Structure 1
Amino acid sequence: MPGSPLTVPLAGSLDDPARARDLQKMKRLATGLFGVAAVVFLVCVLLGEETGAWVGYVRATAEASMVGALADWFAVTALFRHPMRLPIPHTAIIPRKKDQIGASLGTFVQENFLTPAVVEQRIAHVDVPGRIGAFLAAPGRAERLAGDAGAALGAVADLIADDDVQPAVAAFVDRKLRETPAAPALARVIELAIDGDRHQEVLSAGLMGLSRFLSENRVVFRARLGDASPAWVPDWVDDRVFDRVFDLLQRFLAEVGEDPRHELRRSYDQRLRAYVHALRTDPATAARVEHFKEEVLDHPAVRHWSGSLWGTVKASVVTAAADPDSELRARLVALIRRGAKLLEEDPTVRELVQRQSQRIAGYVVERFAGDVAELVGSTVARWDTEETSRRIELQVGRDLQWIRVNGTVVGGLAGLVIYTVAQLLG
């Protein structure tokens, strides 16, 4: 019944006033033809056969028309309700068989429309990559999609409980760092520096920094020398010795920094290369690096950093995703535009997307066709019986009324033919 929790309302779009008016008009036409046939029949009965032979022909035609009209009225009405509200067997077919019709409709859709062959054939005639590319390339579409992605990312981030995720992220990072051997990674980093001659740049920067540090702290070092020197040594001697040593050290640092072929640089290069070899081949060297790595990972500052990593990354990504002028949003917009261009112009990408779209559509149909059929059947089963019958009649009733009209006309012609044959035979 309407309002029952087991029933659902039909779509309001099925209630078409124009269809209702057309249906009523056709009902009046069919009923009017029956009325005309009845009037003609009564007139012929009142006139009697003595009026003329033509009366018999007209009477037979009108009589057969009434029979045809009544028979077809009964057939059409029996689809939707009991004729004259009499519980005649095999009438009110749609209300009585609604659930079976829904199940059959679902099965029909599944077997004739929701099949991989039908869907893949349809997709094959659709330019899927071209349509997707045109959609993405529309003016302002990339910016809107990037904004939608940023909003979705923010919404997802709000749903995630940081207290649950943060320990898991920290444990994952810590486990991966501990599982990754440090010696090969360090050897590779040093190799990259050596191959690009970056290690010499690092040495030069270190020498310059050391020279500047010595100059800035010259007074401190002179005071330390005075404290360490015996009391009987005059200050002027300490000054001479300090200035001499300090100037020699500064000149040496400047000399190494300016000479790319200095012996110290060659020795430094050889030692680094030897250390790389030891990292790869000497278990003791690798063990020392691993031990140092473990000490670093166990340091409270590092553990605090790994524990706060999720919150930091999350805040950075969410902030960048929400900012229209951020680098993240700009890269996302550029990525969408590039994807649209590839979908429209690149033959390899287009062929791949087209093929995969057919495979995906076929898989989805094969996987969920039964669910769709069940949805159709269960939805029809929850519809209100009387409302369903009324709506279906509204959709197809106008055409069904033509059955009544045709029955009236064809019945009359059949009656005329039968009466004429009977007269000829008599």
Structure 2
Amino acid sequence: MPEPRPSLALTASLDDPQRERDLARMKRLATGLFLLAAVVFVVCTLVGTEHGAWIGYVRATAEASMVGALADWFAVTALFRHPLRLPIPHTAIIPRKKDQIGESLGAFVQENFLTRAVVEEKLTTIDVPTRLGDFLAAPGRAERLSGDAAAALTALTDLLRDEDLEPAVAAIVERKLHATEAAPVLARVLELVVDGDRHQEVLSAALRLLSRFLHDNRVVFRAQLGDASPAWVPDWVDDRVFDRAFAGVQQFLDEVGADPRHELRRSYDDRLRAYVHALRTDPETAARVEALKKELLEHPAVRAWSGSLWSNAKGAVLAAAADPGSELRSRVTALILDGARLLRTDRTVRELVQRHAHGIAGHLVDRFAGDLAELVSSTVARWDTEETSRRIELQVGRDLQWIRVNGTVVGGLAGLVIYTVAQLIG
């Protein structure tokens, strides 16, 4: 047997002291009318008809009032409990039929409210884009929503285990890098560099750095020449040879750096373009680049870098999300405000949102209507039986007490009419 589900407490908002007082007052009124009819009936019975024929009419009215009051009391009470605590069949209807009522209520809601036709008809009367745009454009709303998005992002990352994600992200990056051919990528990069003459700028910078390096280390190079020169060569000869050679190298570097049409630059440009062509057409060149790429990817430093991608990205994003003045938060806020403006002013966006609102709402209704109906029925089924009956009586009991009052009055009038007709016939 399945284990019984625990009872679910009803919300405390259904407890209304004013409703309780009104219900108690109506019960006293209905009971008082019954007691009044009973007193009148007893008095008329004791007095008898010797004091006039009118006694019979009053007695018949009081008698019918008591019958009507008792019948309606039984009917109203039978909804919520057994009258006089007697297990009379077909009484205590709400406690006994609570689960069936919940199922019927869920089916009623599903069939009459949670249908595509009803929802779409309602949406035709609502300007969805304007309402959504006004909501997003309310003062401070975009900032709050960006903050809520940041909080949600932080909560989501807290649920994720870094020790699981770090190797997963590293594996994805490495797999993607291994699957990407290096030669076409390198060829495209070099093409962009050559087309923009960036390679000549790189050469000029390299020449300047080399010239500065030689100048800063002039003494070191002179010492190297002295060590390599034969001992019988005088120092002044070494100095002259070194000065002429050093000056020639510096002059050459300066000439290449100053002349954009220098032969070295043209040769450099031709060789680089030829290399780009080889990367695209020569399998051996592409294979060498691919082997170099694999060697780099296998290097421990590269592996450590790929393993730290998740932690670094997560830390940077969370830090930006937590800072109200960060560029990320500012961009999210601006994006929300731009969306609000488009929703209120751009006709294309408005028509798109209004049209898709129908489709989305219809899909949600078709997908979740049964689940919502099940939620209603299962929630009602988990309510405590006696508490449910009491709360429902508290909500509608005052109006139901009018049935007792009306039954007393109508029953008395019916009894009076019947008695009068009987007297006329007799």
TM-score normalised by length of structure 1: 0.91
Q: Verify: 1:309 aligned to 2:284, yes or no.
A: no
- Contact map agreement 2:30 2:405 (CA 8 A) in 1: yes
**Following superposition of structure 1 onto structure 2, how do residues 235-254 of structure 1 map, counting pairs within 5 Å?**
235-254=235-254
Q: 1: CA distance between counterparts of 2:303 and 2:310?
A: 13
- CA deviation vs aligned residue, 1:150-171 (integer Å, no higher than 9, x gap): 3333343333322222222222
Q: Structure 2: how far apart are the matches of 1:240 and 1:107? A: 107
* Corresponding residue for residue 87 of structure 2: 87
CA contact (8 A) 2:133 2:344 kept: yes
- Measure, in 1, the Cα distance between the counterparts of 2:248 and 2:125: 84
More displaced 10-residue stretch of structure 1: 124-133 or 15-24? 124-133
Given residue 360 of structure 2, which amino acid in structure 1 is its aligned partner?
I
The amino acid across from 2:140 in the alignment is: G
Out of 86-95 and 217-226, give the one that drifted further.
217-226
Change (3 A) 1:86 1:304: closer
Say if 2:382 is the partner of 1:347. no
The CA distance in 2 between the partners of 1:162 and 1:14, in whole Å, is 46
TM-fit CA distance, 1:320: 2.6
Give 1:398 deviation, angstroms: 0.7
CA distance in 2: counterparts of 1:166 and 1:323, whole angstroms: 25
Between Structure 1 and Structure 2, how many residues are aligned? Answer: 423
> What residue ranges of structure 2 are gaps of 5+ in the alignment?
none
Number of the residue aligned with 1:26: 26
- Which residue is equivalent to 1:180? 180
What is the deviation of 1:354?
Answer: 3.2
Q: CA RMSD in A?
A: 2.3
2:267 equivalent to 1:233: no
Number of the residue aligned with 1:318:
318
- SS of alignment partner, residue 233 of structure 2: coil
Shift of the 324–399 alpha-carbon distance from structure 1 to 2, 3 Å rule, reads same
Q: Is 2:300 the counterpart of 1:287?
A: no
Opposite residue 353 of structure 2, the aligned amino acid is: V
Provide the C-alpha distance between the structure 2 equivalents of 1:205 and 1:60, rounded to a whole number of angstroms. Answer: 121
* 1:209-220 equivalences in 2 (<5 Å): 209-220=209-220
How much has 1:249 moved relative to structure 2?
2.3
Partner of 2:257: 257
SS for the counterpart of 2:313 is helix
The runs of 5 or more residues in structure 1 that have no matched partner are none
Structure 1 residue aligned with 2:109: 109
Q: Which residue of 2 aligns with 1:118?
A: 118
1:274 equivalent in alignment to 2:268: no
Structure 1 match to 2:371: 371
User: Residues 5 and 382 of structure 2 are in contact (CA less than 8 Å); yes or no, is this contact kept in structure 1?
Assistant: no
The runs of 4+ residues in structure 1 deviating greater than 4 Å are none
Q: CA deviation at 1:50?
A: 4.3
Deviations 1:375-412 (A, max 9, x none): 22222222222211111111111111111111122222
Match of 2:194 in 1: 194
Q: Secondary structure at the match of 1:261?
A: coil
Q: For residues 100 and 327 of structure 1, what CA distance do their matches in structure 2 show?
A: 57
User: Which AA in structure 2 matches 1:422?
Assistant: A
- Identity over the aligned pairs, expressed in percent? 76
Is the 2:20–2:394 contact (alpha carbons within 8 Å) kept by the matching residues of 1? Answer: yes
Q: Could you tell me which amino acid in structure 2 is paired with residue 413 of structure 1?
A: L
Report the 3-state secondary structure (helix = DSSP H, G, I; strand = E; otherwise coil) of the residue aligned with 1:233. coil
Give how far 1:47 is off: 4.0
Deviation (angstroms), 1:269: 2.5
Partner of 1:402: 402
Give the distance between the partners of 1:127 and 1:229, measured in 2 at CA: 93
CA distance, structure 2, for counterparts of residue 389 and residue 155 of structure 1: 41
**Partner Cα separation in structure 2 for residue 155 and residue 376 of structure 1:** 30
Output the CA distance in 2 between the equivalents of 1:154 and 1:94: 47
1:5 Cα offset (Å): 7.2
Could you list the per-position Cα deviations for residues 154-194 of structure 1 after superposition, in whole angstroms to 9, with x for gaps in the alignment?
34333332222222222211111111011111111112122
- 2:13 paired residue number: 13
| Counterpart residue identity of residue 272, structure 1 | L
Whole-angstrom CA distance in 2 between matches of 1:159 and 1:389: 43
Cα shift readout 1:109-168 (whole Å, capped 9, x = no counterpart): 222222233233334433334333333333333333333333333343333322222222
CA distance in 2, matches of 1:404, 1:158: 61
SS at match of 1:89: coil
Sort the Cα spacing of 1:232 and 1:156 in 2 relative to 1 into closer, same or farther, 3 A.
Answer: same
C-alpha displacement at 1:93, in angstroms? Answer: 1.0
In the other structure, the counterpart of 1:55 is: 55
| C-alpha separation in 1, matches of 2:165 and 2:13 | 47
Q: Structure 1 counterpart of 2:320, which letter?
A: A
Going from structure 1 to structure 2, the CA distance change for 1:81 and 1:155 (only over 3 Å counts) comes to closer
Deviates more, 1:48-57 or 1:363-372: 48-57
TM-score, with length taken from structure 2: 0.91
Aligned equivalents of 1:352 and 1:233: distance in 2?
90
Distance 2:112 2:410 in 1: 35
Q: Could you tell which deviates more after superposition, 402-411 or 18-27?
A: 402-411
* Most deviating of 160-169 and 178-187: 160-169
Find the aligned partners of 2:63 and 2:384 in 1 and give their Cα distance: 40
Q: How does 1:158-173 map to 2 (within 5 A)?
A: 158-173=158-173
> What amino acid does structure 1 have at the position aligned with 2:227?
D
Per-residue Cα deviation, 1:327-353 (whole angstroms, up to 9, x for no partner): 333333333333333333333333333
How far 1:273 moved relative to its partner?
2.2
